[in-house]
Structure 1
Amino acid sequence: MIDTYGGLAVRPRDCILRQLAANPEDAVVESTSYPSWLSQRGGAVNDASCLNRTDVYGVVRPSDEAELGRALAFAREHDLKVSLAGARHSMGGQTSWPGGLIIDLTAMDRIVVDEASGTVRVGGGALWQQVLEVLHPRRLSVTGMPSIDVLSVGGTISVNAHGTDFRTGSLAGTVRSLRLMKADGSVVTLDAGHDPDLFHAVIGGYGLFGVIVEAELATVPDELYRLEQRVVPAADLPSVLDALRSDENNRLMSADLATAGSPLMQQAIVYTYSRFPGAADEPIPELQHEPDSPPARLLFNLARHPGPAQWLKWTAQRDLLPRVRHCDSSRNEALRAAEACLVSRSQAMYSDLVLLRHKIPQYTDILHEYFLPPEDLVRFLRDTADALKGSDAVLLHASVRMVHAEPILLDYARGDRYSVVLYLSQEVSAEGNRDMAVLTRTLVDRALTAGGTFYLPYQQHYTRDDLARAYPRIEEFFALKRRHDPGLLFMNNFYRRFA
């Protein structure tokens, strides 16, 4: 199964790593006395889209609260703006500021399990992969997470990501508390009962209120699930997904849409991970990384061009993958006799999607995401297919998941909503950018017309009016930002454009 995270792209880190290796003389801020603790002096940073190269003062990678506090104090003293970065998979300018100090949080990755309370405390820079690896030996798993594990916990809380646990929806409902370092260097603990306004602004707050030092997250038992798939017409998705949701044994679910054929996106593979009798007594195998498959990667990259490769990729996903998919073996003879495909909950989420990595400089991968009322899903899929016919962007993957309303300020779901995630290949050129902008504005308008919304971590090819229509509490959000950070220490390009 190919999947994308509800929220962020799986673009290779090549451009990020190249920028992190930039020479100090590339700096836009002249200085002869950079502090010794900078991990990068001057130069530039980028994000996973490789389209947002930004010249910066430097990058610091603190490993604890003391080092983090020192970096913020330095920024205040030298009148530097601060932007926060984890795995840098947001692509709407949320992780950089021209001439700013970039705080790379990936070294703040401490993880502590509290089995008595059923929670895990996670440093903001820890990757979800690390969290799963710590929980798995204790037969625990996360309540919710993105659909790829190479993203940071703090970063995905900051965009309120979601994944395949359709009962949980977004991360907002799984966060028990947060430790936040504010602009003045103080550290506060937030939850729904302690400063709920700030708590509900930081979740989905795009790093504008402070640094998520630590998050306390709910856990659930790690069980073996039976993995099944079925192919259905896209027009039947609402009824099929609704019926699957009514079965309490179904715990994880998503649907992949056809990326080839005519009409486009009008067929779907529905994946379910369900409990079965005796599942709690089954042994849980160790986590296994996805094997790299150069032939599969080659086919995926060939599918960046319209034609037979697209059809072959979709056909292989639909018809061949179920025959070669890895399944955990069970000691239950009855299940083995039935040839059940059993996968642990954590294993189902333990995915870095190595298939999507590439080093093709002329193309970059871009995500779109839209949230639709159930009654408008099928029409929006038809509209999207029509819009793609007139675009140079190539659809590599598309999926549907479910999210629910949360009490956060920038909530993208106004009730139960279907999330439509589009993973697109774009040419890296001025024309490619223009074409993507037209496609984005078309789909944003159609989503808003249908009473839906769009996701904010992606390219900013939408207007201030679009933002206000999708997020009616945006002015309240910006006002709260100014109240908690009156000096506007924490800044990014999202705030610069829309505040």
Structure 2
Amino acid sequence: MHAQHALAPPPAPVRVLQRGAPPGAAGSLVDARNRYRNDIHSRLNPTRHARVFLPEGPEEVAELLVEARSAGKSVACAGAQHAMGGQQFLEDGWLLDTRRMAGVLDFDADRGLVQVAAGTRWPALQRFLAARRDGAGRGWSIAQKQTGADDFSLGGSLASNIHGRGLDRPPLVDDIERFTLVLPQGCALEVDRQREPELFSLAVGGYGLFGVVSDLTLRLRPRQLLQRSVRLLRRDGLAEAFESARREGARFGDFQFAIDPRSADFMDLGILACYLPTEGELQDAGAGATLSASDWQELLRLAHVDKSEAFRRYSGFYLSTHGQRYASDDHQFGVYLDGYHSAIDAGLGHRGSEVITELYVPPNEIGRFLGALACLCRESGMDVVYGTVRQIRRDAETLLSWARDDRACVVLNLHVRHDQEGMLRMHRDLRQLYDLALGFGGSFYLSYGLHASAAQLRAAYPDVDRFVAAKRRLDPGEVLSSSWFERLSRILGSRAARGDLDGQA
């Protein structure tokens, strides 16, 4: 293993050894200033933790888990804290914050593999790879990451089995070579597909319930010059347009649709943008029209108060970028405005935020599904502020797979008021959306929250009971837990709670 490549860590918290602190955790940094955490985007998961620890490596993680087990406490594991489903928090539990477990640990420039500590954020990895490009801009590139925001931890991305906007890619599991997992018993294990197939299938997309990922090794791809192709399109032509782009070799693509329910274009007309390999110099990538932070803030405001104008401006900008060239890695990063909603709240006169959901249907059903979705959103009065369609290839490796077959993926951002009525409405709306997707033979993503019924969960995730049973078997003391897992157990009821399916896991 090569020497660690340093990345600038975030500001160090005050080192406080509290009276009565667990002796094994005393070597870890204890953040005594902020035991209250909330998710970054929706702000709907305020949680008070008994203690917050910031370990710097797997040894301290192992000590912390051993002490938690001895003390009868459960530990939740948090990265960048963007997830909206409570996977990274646990009321009155201990919180393991991975922010100080950051850095590139090894880089194999011959094979295109990079090993990073789990708390490393995607922009830091991008800077590391950028510094190792040759004079012509050639080098290794990430294959995919979440879009819409960048400051996610890689460990959290593994735990949620995320995806980007690749046109011909499975979720992140396909990019993972191996990872180190600190088990609830306090021992560390190197996990890959061959040596530990069960743990591999459980931990990727397992929301931190089967061990703490201390580092992971990603498969990279050669950096490539891409040209953006943009056109307006109606939903009925979308399935064939995606297939045509894939046949032409497009690596990325998405369809961003009109969001005004008062318009006939609602969820029908959209901007299809695809990225095809092209010849040229990588140094020329990225030149051309861009949107500034203030442009994005105005578009976000309009998406709440004048949806047709928001789409007119956004689609006009995208059409102006037809033919522009981008690097295959750089174009996956963008602008995210922290706290953007406070200014919008002032104009709306209430406190709110956006809640994301993802719905998956067979690719050839996407036109019909968008039509049905438009009707449902209109009838229910759902406040859609953003919507896009992507493509996902089948994930046959993880037990809790959300893409059991090739899927068209519909991402919706719904505006939610932060009051009792808003919470009840959100819960009702999401269940209606899940039913619609299931009716098309589809499913939905669990990372953004657990609002489904037991029947909906089992229909979308036929192995969910096996997942819970494996958790009970491998971590019977629930050393690792979360608000998400507690809710999942309640929804699934007594059968999951008793672990009746242990023998099938």
TM-score normalised per structure 2 = 0.84
1:39 to 31, 38, 57: 31
In structure 2, distance between residues paired with 1:287 and 1:174: 29
1:426 to 408, 411, 416: 416
2:433 to 432, 435, 443: 443
Distance 1:52 1:374, change over 3 A: same
In structure 1, distance between residues paired with 2:454 and 2:355: 21
In structure 2, distance between residues paired with 1:356 and 1:343: 28
Residue aligning to 1:336: none
Code of the aligned partner of 2:467:
F
Residue aligning to 2:115: 121
Where do residues 82-481 of structure 1 align in structure 2 (5 Å cutoff)?
A: 82-111=75-104, 112-137=106-131, 138=133, 139-147=139-147, 148-248=149-249, 250-260=250-260, 261-276=263-278, 278-279=279-280, 282-283=282-283, 292-305=292-305, 309-323=306-320, 340-354=323-337, 357-360=340-343, 362-406=351-395, 407-481=397-471
In structure 1, distance between residues paired with 2:391 and 2:71: 45
Q: What is the DSSP-based 3-state SS (H/G/I as helix, E as strand, rest coil) of the residue aligned with 2:251?
A: strand
In structure 2, distance between residues paired with 1:292 and 1:69: 44
The answer as to whether partners of 2:282 and 2:327 remain within 8 angstroms in 1 is: no
The answer as to whether partners of 2:123 and 2:151 remain within 8 angstroms in 1 is: yes
Deviation at 1:66, TM superposition (A): 2.5
The answer as to whether partners of 2:449 and 2:484 remain within 8 angstroms in 1 is: no
Q: Does 1:75 align with 2:64?
A: no
The answer as to whether partners of 1:225 and 1:273 remain within 8 angstroms in 2 is: yes
Deviation at 1:440, TM superposition (A): 0.5
TM-score normalised per structure 1 = 0.85
Q: What is the DSSP-based 3-state SS (H/G/I as helix, E as strand, rest coil) of the residue aligned with 2:311?
A: helix
In structure 1, distance between residues paired with 2:385 and 2:236: 21
Code of the aligned partner of 1:454:
F
Code of the aligned partner of 1:342:
R
Deviation at 1:191, TM superposition (A): 0.9
Q: What is the DSSP-based 3-state SS (H/G/I as helix, E as strand, rest coil) of the residue aligned with 1:446?
A: helix
The answer as to whether partners of 1:292 and 1:355 remain within 8 angstroms in 2 is: no
Unaligned runs of 5+ in 1: 1-20, 25-30, 326-338
What is the CA deviation profile of residues 71-109 of structure 1, one whole-angstrom value per residue up to 9, with x for unaligned ones? 223322322110011111211121111210111112212
In structure 2, distance between residues paired with 1:385 and 1:285: 37
Deviation at 1:352, TM superposition (A): 3.9
Deviation at 1:145, TM superposition (A): 1.7
CA RMSD of aligned residues (A): 2.3
Code of the aligned partner of 2:63:
R
What is the CA deviation profile of residues 176-203 of structure 1, one whole-angstrom value per residue up to 9, with x for unaligned ones? 1111011111110111101101101111
Deviation at 1:42, TM superposition (A): 7.0
Code of the aligned partner of 2:316:
D
What is the CA deviation profile of residues 448-471 of structure 1, one whole-angstrom value per residue up to 9, with x for unaligned ones? 111100000112221122111111
The answer as to whether partners of 2:361 and 2:408 remain within 8 angstroms in 1 is: yes
What is the CA deviation profile of residues 284-332 of structure 1, one whole-angstrom value per residue up to 9, with x for unaligned ones? 66999x8643254134224323xxx211110011113443x5xxxxxxx
What is the CA deviation profile of residues 55-81 of structure 1, one whole-angstrom value per residue up to 9, with x for unaligned ones? 210211112222222322332232211
Q: What is the DSSP-based 3-state SS (H/G/I as helix, E as strand, rest coil) of the residue aligned with 1:122?
A: strand
Equivalences, count: 450
Code of the aligned partner of 1:383:
A
In structure 2, distance between residues paired with 1:411 and 1:143: 20
In structure 1, distance between residues paired with 2:483 and 2:338: 31
In structure 2, distance between residues paired with 1:492 and 1:287: 44
In structure 2, distance between residues paired with 1:239 and 1:316: 26
Distance 1:355 1:284, change over 3 A: farther
Unaligned runs of 5+ in 2: 1-12, 134-138, 346-350, 490-505
Q: What is the DSSP-based 3-state SS (H/G/I as helix, E as strand, rest coil) of the residue aligned with 1:304?
A: helix
Q: What is the DSSP-based 3-state SS (H/G/I as helix, E as strand, rest coil) of the residue aligned with 1:460?
A: coil
Deviation at 1:379, TM superposition (A): 2.0
The answer as to whether partners of 2:62 and 2:188 remain within 8 angstroms in 1 is: no
In structure 2, distance between residues paired with 1:282 and 1:93: 40
Deviation at 1:431, TM superposition (A): 0.7
In structure 2, distance between residues paired with 1:421 and 1:197: 30
In structure 2, distance between residues paired with 1:265 and 1:304: 16
Distance 1:416 1:355, change over 3 A: same
Q: What is the DSSP-based 3-state SS (H/G/I as helix, E as strand, rest coil) of the residue aligned with 2:89?
A: coil
What is the CA deviation profile of residues 255-297 of structure 1, one whole-angstrom value per residue up to 9, with x for unaligned ones? 1111123241101211111112x34x54366999x86432541
The answer as to whether partners of 1:113 and 1:121 remain within 8 angstroms in 2 is: yes
Distance 1:497 1:287, change over 3 A: farther
Q: What is the DSSP-based 3-state SS (H/G/I as helix, E as strand, rest coil) of the residue aligned with 2:413?
A: strand
In structure 1, distance between residues paired with 2:454 and 2:167: 30
In structure 1, distance between residues paired with 2:444 and 2:74: 28
Distance 1:403 1:299, change over 3 A: closer
In structure 2, distance between residues paired with 1:355 and 1:66: 33
Code of the aligned partner of 2:277:
R
Deviation at 1:50, TM superposition (A): 1.1
Q: What is the DSSP-based 3-state SS (H/G/I as helix, E as strand, rest coil) of the residue aligned with 1:489?
A: coil
Residue aligning to 1:328: none
Deviation at 1:494, TM superposition (A): 2.3
The answer as to whether partners of 1:158 and 1:207 remain within 8 angstroms in 2 is: yes
Distance 1:82 1:41, change over 3 A: farther
Code of the aligned partner of 2:236:
A
The answer as to whether partners of 1:180 and 1:188 remain within 8 angstroms in 2 is: yes
Identical aligned residues as a percent? 27
Code of the aligned partner of 2:225:
L
Deviation at 1:374, TM superposition (A): 1.8
Distance 1:302 1:269, change over 3 A: closer
The answer as to whether partners of 1:113 and 1:135 remain within 8 angstroms in 2 is: no
In structure 2, distance between residues paired with 1:194 and 1:397: 42
Code of the aligned partner of 1:123:
A
In structure 2, distance between residues paired with 1:246 and 1:284: 26
The answer as to whether partners of 1:202 and 1:209 remain within 8 angstroms in 2 is: yes
Deviation at 1:171, TM superposition (A): 0.3
Code of the aligned partner of 2:120:
A
In structure 1, distance between residues paired with 2:54 and 2:459: 37
